Chain A
Amino acid sequence: MTTPKTLFEKIWETHLVREASGEPALLYIDLHLVHEVTSPQAFEGLRLTGRKVRRPDLTVATMDHNVPTWARNLPVTDEISKQQLDALASNCKEFGVPLYDLDSDKQGIVHVIGPELGLTQPGMTIVCGDSHTSTHGAFGALAFGIGTSEVEHVLATQTLQQARPKTMEVRIDGHLPAGVTAKDIILGVIGRIGTAGGTGYVIEYTGQAIRDLSMEGRMTVCNMSIEAGARAGMIAPDQKTFDYVAGRPHAPSGKDFERAVAEWRHLPTDDGATYDRLEVFNGPDLTPFVTWGTNPGMVVPISGRVPDPSSAHDEGERRATERALEYMGLTPGTLIEDIPIDRVFLGSCTNGRIEDLRDAAAVIKGRKVNPRVYAMVVPGSMPVKVQAEAEGLHEIFIAAGFDWRTAGCSMCLGMNPDILKPGERCASTSNRNFEGRQGKGGRTHLVSPQMAAAAAIAGHFVDIRTWEPTA
């Protein structure tokens, strides 16, 4: 009898090119996603050493971090952004790497288009010079972010030197209550285990509440694994996964697809396999969450209050809480629902997919954005935008007073012109509430798309569980 294995172990072991004692393992990479911000120095390194891209056919690039989300037909006006976008185009041309540029109707955030194009498939190893590469783990792939030196390493060798991580099972039992989403699962997990709780681990999310999620919900959960410090997040592939992949442009078809599915069915963790650590959550106990501070672990239920630094566990946490409250302009004890907001950002690789837009549109339909709020929707990819427009979602957003943009990372990190002004407070569906992330002095609160949409209408946070649909 063979030893029972976890999903992670199965993928790890079938991708080992070399494993020698006293060295890191050499892991084969099946798919390398590239974008404009973390690749120019890697391509330059190849040029300086006379190296080539080993497998351009397993590499694909897109433009997302820097791109303007309005007036796409006009040239990029930020000269330095333009230089970086041009560098990606010329590097891709020189090294033969396929590129979805700003003229492509497939362009979008790298972690949205990978699954959309069918490039992301179960059992694969996937890397990208971006920490949110963990998103692709939703398909039962081992996917993680790497630095630019590692990007260069993968371009040159299609492999990566890796120390074997530990494994953690995060199990969410039972069903989620109405109004509680994938985003709330992951905020709840980070709130409990902390922003460094997953350091050194690959997390596998299991349990009824995870199985209940759509593929897009699973992507949201895996996406923020890095915010818990984890190397990667993964979810076992099932029929939902296979149905999602089926028929996508890069997915196998016909007999090849059947053969692939037969293989993928062997991926889920075997009965009796063990993890290095287990964390269990009760799905029915989860609530909508709102972050109050300057990292994603600083989070409370919507019914909660801004915490008091004096209740911190230790001196470091107390000072971090004080600093966060000062930056966020919040007073301990304030009800979360009483916090007024100025901006709403709906989008990002965390929550910029079609279901997110549908969920938000359902909340705002027939209502108006509060006059004190400026709200924007940035679809995660051009296909998401096209789909939303085919469903008439853009009309709902525009009628409510939202700005309807084109695809990109946008105000998740504010590398393009979409940024907060100092002191502005934003309900955001993105993944990081770090100081200055969305603009110097900007104050970010992470929430689900439904919660962001409701906040846009109300002008402050509201409990989506009490939201009355319009007649």
Chain B
Amino acid sequence: MQPFTTLSGVAAPLDRVNVDTDQIIPKQFLKRIERTGFGPFCFFDWRYKDDGSLNPDFELNQPEYQAASILVAGRNFGCGSSREHAPWALEDMGIRAVLAPSFADIFFNNCFKNGMLPVVLPESVIEELLARAKERPGYALTIDLENQVVSDQEGVIAAFDVDPFRKECLIRGLDDIGLTMQHEPEITRFETSRNVNLPTTPVLA
């Protein structure tokens, strides 16, 4: 996994609440069997008009946000479907961190599995960041994961919390499965010591 240490980049404002994963990556693109290549379809229904041209009214289509690597959004970002295609699509579009007042659970987990950082900040801070990103062309932020602070050119804006284990995994780019496999003897011990009859799953005729 790609490590995440410090990220500096343009912040794009998506001033909407409850952005669901159906919006981030609509169902017709979930048929791909790869992890990559979802970027062009990210926010598809908002981003493009029916004739396939870019929708000039969609916030993220403004020229100043094309190089953005940070997304600032409203509360409950990533709600709905468990599709990991959502963080894949954002990442493929160049976004490596999302800042919001709150996130839906599964999306939040999925980000960490892909070297992406979801940052929870107070609603008032997000409002301020949304305003600055809208008003100042090229407004950039720096997210320092080691020190857990978000800053801009003028200085530190806010500190944020992150689970220490997840932080370590992100900074070192660790593979979860590899970590768990180090505990293989414990898994085997658990399996052999249980006194339960689990249903097994052979296909029935």
Contacts and interface: CB of A to CB of B under 8 A. Distances in A.
A157 to B, nearest CB: 5
A58 B109 contact: no
Nearest to B31: A80
A229 B76 contact: yes
Given A152-B177, A295-B20, A106 B75 contact: no
Contact of A131 (B82, B180, B190): B82
B69 interface: no
A145 B45 CA distance: 25
A451 interface: no
B80 interface: yes
A163 B106 CA distance: 12
Nearest to B33: A40
Contacts of B23: 434-436
Given A147-B110, A440-B26, A98 B201 contact: yes
B186 interface: yes
B136 interface: no
B186 A161 contact: no
B17 A146 contact: no
A339 interface: no
Contacts of A150: 109, 113
A156 B181 contact: yes
A199 B85 CA distance: 21
Interface stretch (B52-60, B154-162, B192-200): B192-200
B186 A60 contact: no
B202 A195 contact: no
Interface in B13-36: 15-18, 20, 22-23, 26-28, 30-35
Contacts of B199: 31, 118-119, 121, 250-252
Contacts of A195: 18, 76, 79
B84 A38 contact: yes
Interface string B163-195: 111000000000011001101101100110000
A51 interface: yes
A157 B31 contact: no
A163 B31 contact: no
Nearest to B36: A41
B18 A147 contact: no
Contacts of B110: 147-149
Contacts of B142: none
Contacts of B33: 40-41, 44, 83-84, 87
A362 interface: no
B105 interface: yes
A445 B27 CA distance: 19
A351 interface: no
A130 interface: yes
Contacts of A56: 201
Given A87-B33, A131-B82, A196-B102, A31 B16 contact: no
Contacts of A28: 187, 190-191
Nearest to B22: A434
Interface residues of B, number: 60
B38 to A, nearest CB: 11
Given A49-B177, A152-B177, A196-B104, A31 B198 contact: yes
Contact of A153 (B15, B26, B102, B180): B180
Interface stretch (A316-324, A373-381, A395-403, A455-463): A316-324
Nearest to B107: A147
Contact of B31 (A83, A250, A263): A83
Contacts of A311: none
Nearest to A100: B203
Interface string A115-137: 00111010110000111000000
B74 interface: yes
Interface string A423-454: 00000000010111100100000000000000
Nearest to A412: B27
Contact of A434 (B20, B106, B204): B20
A415 interface: yes
Contacts of A284: none
Contact of A256 (B50, B75, B104, B197): B197
B83 interface: yes
Contacts of A84: 31-33
Contacts of B2: none
A158 interface: yes
A340 B184 CA distance: 58
B187 to A, nearest CB: 6
Given A17-B183, A18-B183, A24-B165, A117 B106 contact: no
A50 to B, nearest CB: 12
A26 B79 contact: no
B81 interface: yes
B31 A415 contact: yes
A157 B181 contact: yes
Nearest to A57: B200
A37 interface: yes
> Which among B17, B33, B110, B113 has the highest number of chain A CB atoms within 10 Å?
B33
Interface in B42-77: 45, 50, 74-76
B8 to A, nearest CB: 26
A18 B163 CA distance: 18
Contacts of A231: 105
Contacts of B17: 316-317, 319-320
Contacts of B163: 24, 163
Contact of B16 (A17, A40, A323): A323
Given A147-B84, A415-B27, A435 B45 contact: yes
> Which 4 residue pairs across A and B have the least CB separation, nearest first?
A149-B113, A40-B33, A147-B84, A147-B110
Given A98-B201, A131-B82, A199-B76, 20 more contacts: A58-B201, A66-B31, A80-B31, A99-B203, A100-B203, A106-B204, A131-B81, A149-B176, A153-B176, A153-B177, A159-B187, A196-B18, A196-B75, A199-B102, A259-B197, A260-B197, A316-B17, A413-B27, A414-B28, A436-B45
